[in-house]
Copies of this chain bind each other. A is one copy, B any other.
Amino acid sequence: MGVQDAIAEISTFLGQRLTRSKSDLEIHGRSESHFPQSPPDAVAYPETTNEVARLVRICAAHGCPVIGWGTGTSLEGQAQAFDGGIVVDFVRMNRILEIRPEDMDVTLQPGVTREALNQELRATGLFFPVDPGANASLGGMASTRASGTTAVRYGTMRDNVLGLEVVTASGEVIRTGSRARKSSSGYDLTALFVGAEGTLGLITELTLRLQGQPEAISSAVCGFNSVGDAVAAVIETIQMGLPMARIELMDSASVAAVNAYAGMDLPEQPHLLLEFHGSETNVAEQAETFGMIAAEHDGTGFDWATRPEDRTALWTMRHNAYHAILAARPGARALVTDLCVPISRLAEAIEATQADLAQSGIEGPILGHVGDGNFHAILLFDETDHEAAAAASALSERMVLRALDLGGTATGEHGIGRGKLGYMAREHGGGWAMMGALKQALDPGNIMNPGKLVPPREPS
């Protein structure tokens, strides 16, 4: 069989770094998605681009699926080998190749995690802003077009990848983009691979934009009587052009969960969590302006802190919110929704979600990157209760359809994988077929992460 032949050939040059050990297959068969275990046939640990290219050439010859793996934190099954094949784990390709402070960019291998990068950058006065919460690999973040809490100011991976090295489906190595800040030179291949979830090729090197560490940072929390009031404050803040670095919503249920998990004592009401970046005067000016907006919407307890330890506590709490919400209901599983709508429709989208949650009796704390119009409801249900799981799925689907009706998208930052495949035709119409044509052109053998993102195709 093709997959076994491919594994045998790849073993000849990867040796021990191609493994079929039970534990390795198991670890790489699950993810943070709600999909069941589906172990690959083997896991490869390449150390160089050449090894990746050689591996892909062999897989192409044998029709063996190739699935990229960063840290396994994707939420829609992107890294799972549903059809078997070889998972390529980039953990050993984790070198930062060159930091260029004068150009504010960095070239690195895909296995570098965002925390490792920022640790390394600390001495340079620069940082990489995209922050999805999880300590994901940068190759994975690029492949998912990830974003997170700071996208409202610094953009998503779409905006922060300058160029890539990619191993194509035929095992060729190409480079996209350049280190120039802009270019009108041909099709934007970088943008094509960012968000492609490994279905068109494997990213083996990235050049990323960096940002200067702001002179001053302050963070703040502010409580509101209702999600509607909080969102109204957000909309006004964005429309005024305040350059917020972070502006995050947590509803009462999320606040209750983090209070319990992190020993905080926030009032159990909807909160905005904020961060301001700029010069000293600038940050003070921003905080003051926000304070005025919040007051107009009956915001309470607005207070801003500049001490690093207070900031760290705040954002650690926010990053742990997902785990806090799960911990509040032992034995529960979560279906994490990921809508993004035009900011003017955000209150409507959240309120409709809350009404739907109330009516269906499903527990679903809401939090999100509201400055972008992006929010998540963490739909909780008992692992063994199939009816509850189905009800959560149905609610998730209603949420997506409402977001699309409001001019939004089914996924602001988690991607498609297999989990959101069912919404692609609805969201993109003929564009989804076009994505299939692009996939067919660049991966005619359908070996790169098959079964994800594009319309299903018979194996060739």
- Residues of A at under 8 Å CB distance from B? 100-105, 144-147, 151, 155-156, 158-159, 168, 172-176, 178-189, 191-192, 194-196, 200, 211-212, 214, 235, 238-241, 279, 281-282, 285, 338, 340-344, 372-374, 403, 407-416, 420, 423-424, 427-432, 434-435, 437-438, 440-442, 453-454
Contact = CB atoms under 8 A, between A and B. Distances in A.
A184 B195 contact: yes
A156 B182 contact: yes
Contacts of A414: 184
B409 A180 contact: yes
A412 B186 contact: no
A438 B174 CA distance: 15
A153 to B, nearest CB: 11
A329 to B, nearest CB: 27
A32 B431 CA distance: 34
Given A179-B408, A181-B373, A442-B434, A429 B174 contact: yes
Contact of A413 (B182, B341, B440): B182
A235 B409 CA distance: 39
A178 B181 CA distance: 25
This chain: copies in complex: 2
Contacts of A189: 428, 431, 434-435
25 contacts: A102-B239, A103-B342, A104-B238, A105-B342, A147-B182, A147-B184, A172-B430, A174-B429, A178-B407, A180-B374, A181-B340, A183-B340, A184-B409, A184-B413, A185-B415, A185-B427, A186-B424, A186-B427, A187-B453, A192-B438, A279-B285, A282-B282, A437-B441, A438-B438, A441-B441
A416 B241 contact: no
A434 B169 CA distance: 11
Q: Name which of A144, A178, A191 has the most chain B CB atoms within 10 A of its CB.
A: A178
Contact of A437 (B100, B412, B442): B442
A420 B188 contact: no
Given A102-B344, A442-B437, A192 B182 contact: no
A252 B372 CA distance: 45
Sorted nearest first, the 10 A-B pairs with minimum C-beta distance are: A191-B191, A441-B441, A183-B409, A212-B241, A179-B407, A102-B344, A180-B340, A174-B430, A184-B415, A180-B408
A235 B181 CA distance: 13
Contacts of A338: 184
A186 B428 contact: yes
Given A103-B342, A180-B373, A281-B281, A194 B185 contact: no
Given A102-B344, A103-B342, A104-B239, A145 B188 contact: yes
B241 A211 contact: yes
Contacts of A173: 430
Given A174-B434, A176-B431, 19 more contacts: A168-B434, A174-B429, A178-B407, A179-B407, A179-B408, A180-B374, A180-B408, A181-B374, A182-B340, A184-B338, A186-B416, A187-B453, A188-B188, A189-B434, A192-B192, A214-B241, A279-B285, A281-B285, A438-B442
A442 B430 CA distance: 12
Contacts of A279: 285
Contacts of A102: 235, 239, 343-344
Contacts of A105: 342
A185 B438 contact: no
A412 B180 contact: yes
A374 B410 CA distance: 37
Contacts of A158: 182, 188, 191
Contacts of A454: 186
Given A159-B159, A174-B431, A282-B285, A182 B374 contact: yes
Contacts of A186: 195, 416, 424, 427-428, 431-432, 435, 453-454
B187 A435 contact: yes
